[in-house]
Structure 1
């Protein structure tokens, strides 16, 4: 079969990553749907499952048309919907909202690496689905008082320009640090919000992980999330910014795993990548150098934590190898044997 419109290497790579992520999210949704006791929340979860199932099938058809073996991803065996409820009080929708934050960023990158009309159509459709679900989840959480708004500030009445390089200073313990600007407040609030969710998630994972090394890895992740929350909260408090952490979402006392260690490790792997990207954004757009340096140090911790997780995945045979180019040197060498 001669393909009239073959997909490029970048599209093979992004579709492979997307398929991994979508099949993982579908398994998580299946568990959350089974345990949901709120009709509106269950409708949001179920609606997303239906949408993702459509695009997973679209990707599988595209893989077949291109003569490409489809990734294994995550299967029914990776979820136990009979496991007791591990998370409560709206955590399912809170975590769903976080996953949609990750997806929005990934689709932007993936679209920028797409040249095939069918591939672009898939990412365009997934982007629309993600934005719709993110909005529904946010409104759902706000209506129930589960999600807190960022701090309120005084509205600016005039335009001003930065007049001194001292605007960026913050290291001098004896000097006055300028007040946080609204961009920095937003970044710090987001750091507290996502790490609170991540802390609850990884606490639940640590309770039910089967592999001892995986359990220790999740315990280390809990401490890393606490560290990021503490750093962000201290900076906000130093500037007299009143804030309140996300109040909703709790971890139950269940120790029965709803997901395989393989799925939970991949979930944390994905969130580590998102954390590094978000940290880079915060480092660049925070114009007080003490904040930027603290973000950089945290990024180092997140990076090495992520590398440790990759090694555990490889060690246990949980890291499916991405498609790759032919090794020409080996082919040439083999031809001379």
Structure 2
């Protein structure tokens, strides 16, 4: 069997390792702030485990870059977190954030795993997936025990396997008659999107009141307003079927206006969550069989896209956007 040391990273593997490094260094910095202020003993243990795992991964990724003769990316450093600042978020937001990041990570690692060919890289993402699921499980159990997470609604168990008989099942808007009620696929996707958005909304509020750059501050205010619009729009689908959208009394922003994070890092994670939101909306639209849902998801997705695009422009303007590895430009040879 050929040794992997003689097989260079493919373009997809290099990109995925590079992207993982960006995200993992970001998570480490956020966890440093959260660990300064965590009071609950169980939460403290989970956050420390998450931090230790993430720090080790950062070191492992740095070794991969060096072994390949590639420059180690900058990612996010000690300069992106300010130690000794007051906590920006209160009452178990740290665990809500950790759960959200592992939720995003598990999906990304599954994708990266299917794009990997070298055995050591496949093994890397297999382990990262396992670790992510472990932390996600602990965060979810903790938040449920504390009464912070809202469970999706319960429904009566099916007693048979009926088939759709009416073409109107696919319709979502009628002037003369009511639309059908939501099915469990649609309810679960709506619940997931709203739950994720609630965590993101508090993040935008905290960022808006602590950002230094005035343009960045205004951008986060737009993020607050967009998050509210998404929650209201998607929540209305549930309310029409007399289902309460997910909500939580926890994880609110404190009164502190002292920034614990760099504007660069806050912009980057906002871009990451916007990308995740685009993917979630695409998934929700693809699996929803009522035509009004994909239309609404597409409209929301368009707004998220332009929000993310504006964020990218701000990051480039301030030289905060680290460029991914690129292929050699051979097109100039044909000119």
Which 10-residue stretch deviates more, 233-242 or 73-82?
Answer: 233-242
* 2:227 equivalent in structure 1: 225
Aligned pairs for 1:143-162 within 5 A: 143-162=145-164
* 2:310 equivalent in structure 1: 308
d(CA) in 2 for partners of 1:173 and 1:262? 48
Alignment equivalent of 1:34, drawn from 31, 36, 41:
36
* 2:107 equivalent in structure 1: 105
d(CA) in 1 for partners of 2:320 and 2:142? 35
Tell me, yes or no, if the aligned pair for 2:194 and 2:245 is still in contact at 8 Å.
no
**Displacement of 1:330 after TM fit?**
3.9
**What TM-score do the two structures reach when normalised by structure 2?**
0.96
Unpaired runs of 5+ residues, structure 2, are: none
Q: Would the alpha carbon gap of residues 28 and 272 (structure 1) be closer, same or farther in structure 2, given more than 3 Å must change?
A: same
* 2:250 equivalent in structure 1: 248
d(CA) in 2 for partners of 1:81 and 1:224? 30
**Displacement of 1:55 after TM fit?**
1.4
C-alpha RMSD of the superposition: 1.3
Three-state SS of the structure 2 residue aligned to 1:205 is: helix
* 1:19 equivalent in structure 2: 21
Structure 2 residue 129 is matched with structure 1 residue 127: yes
Three-state SS of the structure 1 residue aligned to 2:16 is: helix
**Displacement of 1:244 after TM fit?**
4.3
**Displacement of 1:174 after TM fit?**
2.7
Unpaired runs of 5+ residues, structure 1, are: none
**What TM-score do the two structures reach when normalised by structure 1?**
0.96
Cα deviation per residue 1:39-58 (whole Å; 9 max; x = unaligned)?
Answer: 11011111011111111111
Tell me, yes or no, if the aligned pair for 1:276 and 1:299 is still in contact at 8 Å.
yes
* 1:204 equivalent in structure 2: 206
d(CA) in 2 for partners of 1:144 and 1:232? 26
* 2:167 equivalent in structure 1: 165
d(CA) in 2 for partners of 1:83 and 1:129? 30
**Displacement of 1:195 after TM fit?**
1.0
d(CA) in 1 for partners of 2:293 and 2:322? 37
Alignment equivalent of 1:118, drawn from 103, 113, 120:
120
d(CA) in 1 for partners of 2:119 and 2:172? 49
d(CA) in 1 for partners of 2:263 and 2:232? 28
Tell me, yes or no, if the aligned pair for 1:147 and 1:247 is still in contact at 8 Å.
no
Three-state SS of the structure 1 residue aligned to 2:247 is: coil
Three-state SS of the structure 1 residue aligned to 2:6 is: coil
